[in-house]
Chains A and B, each alone.
Chain A
Amino acid sequence: MSQAGSSTSGIRVSGLRKRFGSVDAVAGLSFHADPGETVGLLGPNGAGKSTTMALLVGLLAPDAGSIEIAGTSDPTRPAARRRLGIAPQDLALYSELTAEENLRFFGRLHGLRGRRLAERVERCLAMAGLQERRDDRVGTFSGGMQRRLNVAAALVHDPSVVLLDEPTVGVDPQSRNHILDALGQLRSEGRTLLYSTHYMEEATRLCDRVVVVDRGRVLAEGTVPDLVARHGGRSRAHFTLATPPPPGTCVGGRPLHEFGGVLETDDPTQALAELARSGLALEAVTVESPNLERVFLNLTGRTLRD
C-alpha cells in the first residue's frame, strides 16, 4: 500500500534563513507544495536550492523561519522521515555494493523487512530499469544508471514526500527521459515532489508550479504559463537579410543593422506582415515565443555565476 496522497504529505516553508559566515545562503525563503503537487525549485548555481533541501530534511538547522513537512514542523522526527525520501545531488550510493544491496540497505534503514522489503526493492529496480544489473556493483555502472538508482533509493521506503536535488545532472538523454517518466509516474500516484533543477524543459514537463529562487530568495512563483505571462516578455522575431538594407532603414521603429535584426512584439503575425511590407530581401525569419528560460534569465540576470 502506498503512502502517497496522505493529508500529511505537503511542504510549507516560511521565512527560512540560513547563513554561512557572511553569506546568506537562504534569505527568508517562503513557498509551499500542497499534497500531491509537484513543485519545481528553479535557480542558478548558488541560488540556495541544495541548502534549502538540506534544511528541509533536517541535515542543517535553520537560523530562522519555519518548516512544515510530512505533517510535522520538525523534519528530524522519525515519523516525518519515514514519509520523506531524498535523492541528493551527490550520488548517495555505495559503489562497492550491488544495486540490490544498496536498495536493501536503505530499505532496512527505514524499517522495511521481509516480503515488504523484497517487493519494494523489486519495484524500485524495475523503476530504475536495472533488474538485469541487480547483482552488479554500482561502481561498474554508467553515470546514467547510477543516477537512476540514486532516485530509486529515495523511493524504496515508499515515501509520500520526495525531495529531488538535480537528479538528472550529467546523464544522457535516454536516462534523463527514463528518470522523468518515472517521476511522472510518482506524480500520478499523488506523491508530493519538490524538484530542484536548472533545466527548464524538465521543470516545464514535470512541475505543476515553479518557484524561481536566487541568492536565497523567491523571485517569482506560479504555474509555468503564469510565470511566462508575467515575466517572459514579448515574442521575438529574429530575421536575417539577404542583402544589406539602405542606410537608415527602420522596422518597427528600430534601425536595422547590415544582416538583420530582432523585433519584439506581442503579435508575431503582425510583425511578420510589417517585415513583408518593408520590401527588404529576407533570407530567414524565426519567431521565439516567451518561455521559462526567458523567465529565468529575466529574473536572475545574465551575469555568469560561480
Chain B
Amino acid sequence: MYAAFVIAWKDLVLLSRDRVTLFWVVGFPLVFALFFGAVLGATLDRGGRVLEAPLVVEPDASAALVAAFESAPALALERASLDDARERVRRGDAAGYLRLRGGGVEIGVDPSRETDAAILRGVTLETLGAAGPAAPGGPPGPALRTAPAIAVVEVVGRGASARSVADLVFPAAVLWGLMGCAASFAVAMVVERSGGTYARLASAPFPRATVLAGKALACFAACLLDAGVITGMSALLLGVRFEAPLAVVAATVAASICFVGMTVLLSVLGRTQQAVSGSGWGALILMAMLGGAMVPVSAMPPWLQTASYASPVRWGIVALEGALFRGFTARELALPSAVLVGAGALSFLAGLCVLSRQATR
C-alpha cells in the first residue's frame, strides 16, 4: 500500500506542475460555472414543446376544468395523487404539478426550475382562457361558468432549496471538474504506459495492480481536491450555501469514484497520448451533453430526458442537486450514489481487463 501512496503522491506533484492540465482540472469548471450561470440566468425559450406534469384531480374538481386541462395541447398530464405529485416535483422529476379542486387550480412549482415553472403558469392561464368562463348570458357549454381561482405554491425539499442560478450550476461545475480530472489522468496513464517509466514501475517489487491502485488513488484525491476548490470558490464567489454538507460530500465522493473508474476505461481507448486525449474528451463531452452538464435536462425532449439516464453525468447531477437543494434523504441519495459507484466499478474492471490483456501480450 505504501508504494500506491508513493505513486499517488508523485502523480499529484506532476499534476501540480503541469499548468495546462491544471487549468482543465480546476480553471475550466469555474469558467463553466460563470459562463453557464450567466446563460441560465436568462430566460430559456422552450419553443412549442409539450410540458409534462402530474395532474392531481380532487373529488370536488370541476369536470369542465378537468376536461379543459386534459385536452390542453401544450400539456402532457399524468394523473397522480397529491403526495406523489409533490414528491416528483421535489425530486426534480417534474417542473411542477397541477391540482384541480372545486373550481380552482393549484400550481405547485419547483423554484429551482424557474423557467419551467413560469411556462407552466403561462400554459395554465392559456388553458383557462381558452376554456371560459362563458360570456354573461351565453349558453352553458363546456366552458367554465366562473373564473377559477389560481394558487401557486412552491414545492421545496425538506432542507434547502435552490436560491440562485449558482445553486443550479454548481453540480455541473463539479462534474466538469471531475471530467477534467478523468481526462487528465487518462492521458497521464497512457503517457506513462507508452514511456519508459512504466517499465520501471512494472518491474518494481509489488504487484502490477499496485501501480493502477496508485494512479486511481491520485485521481481520486485530485477529484476530491478539485471538487473542494470548486465548492470553496462557489461558496465565496457565487454565494452557494451548503446546508447539508455531508450529503454534498457523499454525492461528491460517489461521483469521484465513478470518474476514477472512467479514467481507467478512458486510458485504454487508445495507445497514444493523442488517441486517448481525443477519444477521452469526446466520450466525456458526449456524457456531459446527454447528462445535462451542458444543456439542462429539463430543456431536452422527453425521449432524450429518458436517454440521459445512460450518462453518469445525469446521475451525478441528480445526486448533487438532491444533496444541495432538493433535500434528499439518505435513502433517496442512495440510488444515484449507487449508480455512480457501480458505473465507476464496472468501468474500472473493464479498463483493468483490457490493460491486463495488453500488459503481457
Which residues of A are in contact with B by a Cβ distance under 8 Å?
20, 54, 57-61, 78-79, 81-82, 84, 86, 88-94, 96-97, 101, 105-106, 108-111, 137, 150, 153-154
Count of B interface residues, CB-CB < 8 Å:
23
A282 to chain B, nearest CB (A): 52
A residues less than 8 Å from B361 (CB atoms): 20, 60
> If A92-B195, A92-B196, A94-B10 touch, does A111 touch B205 (CB 8 Å cutoff)?
yes
Whether A94 contacts B205 by the Cβ 8 Å rule is no
Interface check B204, CB cutoff 8 A: yes
Q: Per-residue 0/1 for B2-13: is the Cβ within 8 Å of any A Cβ (1 yes, 0 no)?
A: 110011001001
B residues less than 8 Å from A58 (CB atoms): 202-203
Task: List 23 contacting pairs A-B, 8 Å CB cutoff, sorted by A.
Answer: A57-B203, A58-B202, A58-B203, A59-B199, A59-B202, A60-B360, A82-B205, A86-B200, A92-B195, A92-B200, A94-B10, A94-B14, A96-B13, A101-B13, A105-B6, A105-B10, A106-B200, A106-B204, A108-B2, A109-B206, A111-B205, A153-B200, A154-B200
A residues less than 8 Å from B202 (CB atoms): 57-59
Separation of A37 and B248 alpha carbons in the complex (Å): 62
For residue A113, which residue of chain B has the nearest CB? Answer: B2
For residue B192, which residue of chain A has the nearest CB? Answer: A94
Q: Which of B3, B7, B205, B361 has the most CB of A within 10 A?
A: B205
B309 to chain A, nearest CB (A): 40
> If A97-B14, A109-B3 touch, does A81 touch B196 (CB 8 Å cutoff)?
no
Whether A88 contacts B205 by the Cβ 8 Å rule is no
Separation of A111 and B147 alpha carbons in the complex (Å): 82
A residues less than 8 Å from B360 (CB atoms): 60-61
A residues less than 8 Å from B196 (CB atoms): 88-93, 150
Whether B197 contacts A81 by the Cβ 8 Å rule is no
Separation of A94 and B17 alpha carbons in the complex (Å): 11
> If A97-B10, A108-B6 touch, does A88 touch B18 (CB 8 Å cutoff)?
no
For residue B13, which residue of chain A has the nearest CB? Answer: A97
Separation of A79 and B2 alpha carbons in the complex (Å): 17
B270 to chain A, nearest CB (A): 18
Separation of A86 and B204 alpha carbons in the complex (Å): 10
Whether A57 contacts B197 by the Cβ 8 Å rule is no
Whether B199 contacts A109 by the Cβ 8 Å rule is no
A residues less than 8 Å from B18 (CB atoms): 96
B3 to chain A, nearest CB (A): 6
Interface check B201, CB cutoff 8 A: yes
Task: Give 10 new A-B contacts, CB below 8 A, not counting A60-B360, A96-B17.
Answer: A59-B359, A81-B203, A81-B205, A90-B195, A91-B196, A92-B195, A93-B196, A96-B13, A97-B14, A106-B200
A residues less than 8 Å from B13 (CB atoms): 96-97, 101
A residues less than 8 Å from B10 (CB atoms): 94, 97, 105
B142 to chain A, nearest CB (A): 75
Separation of A219 and B1 alpha carbons in the complex (Å): 45
For residue B195, which residue of chain A has the nearest CB? Answer: A90
Q: Which of A54, A94, A154 has the most CB of B within 10 A?
A: A94
B residues less than 8 Å from A54 (CB atoms): 199
For residue A80, which residue of chain B has the nearest CB? Answer: B205
Q: Per-residue 0/1 for B338-361: is the Cβ within 8 Å of any A Cβ (1 yes, 0 no)?
A: 000000000000000000000111
Whether A78 contacts B205 by the Cβ 8 Å rule is yes
A residues less than 8 Å from B359 (CB atoms): 59
Contact of B206 among A78, A84, A88, A92 (CB under 8 A): A78
> If A88-B196, A92-B199, A94-B197 touch, does A81 touch B204 (CB 8 Å cutoff)?
yes
Separation of A105 and B200 alpha carbons in the complex (Å): 11
For residue B201, which residue of chain A has the nearest CB? Answer: A109
Contact of B197 among A59, A82, A93, A154 (CB under 8 A): A93
Considering only residues 142-198 of chain B, those with a C-beta below 8 Å from chain A are 195-197
B residues less than 8 Å from A91 (CB atoms): 195-196
B residues less than 8 Å from A86 (CB atoms): 199-200, 203
Separation of A90 and B191 alpha carbons in the complex (Å): 12
For residue A107, which residue of chain B has the nearest CB? Answer: B6
Whether B197 contacts A109 by the Cβ 8 Å rule is no
Q: Which of A61, A105, A154 has the most CB of B within 10 A?
A: A105
A170 to chain B, nearest CB (A): 13
B residues less than 8 Å from A89 (CB atoms): 196
Q: Which of B6, B18, B197, B360 has the most CB of A within 10 A?
A: B197
A88 to chain B, nearest CB (A): 4
B8 to chain A, nearest CB (A): 11
B residues less than 8 Å from A108 (CB atoms): 2-3, 6
Q: Per-residue 0/1 for B194-236: is the Cβ within 8 Å of any A Cβ (1 yes, 0 no)?
A: 0111011111111000000000000000000000000000000
B195 to chain A, nearest CB (A): 6
Separation of A212 and B120 alpha carbons in the complex (Å): 82
A35 to chain B, nearest CB (A): 20
Separation of A108 and B1 alpha carbons in the complex (Å): 12
B residues less than 8 Å from A60 (CB atoms): 360-361
Separation of A154 and B195 alpha carbons in the complex (Å): 15
For residue B194, which residue of chain A has the nearest CB? Answer: A90
Separation of A153 and B204 alpha carbons in the complex (Å): 12
B residues less than 8 Å from A92 (CB atoms): 195-197, 199-200
Contact of B203 among A61, A84, A105 (CB under 8 A): A84
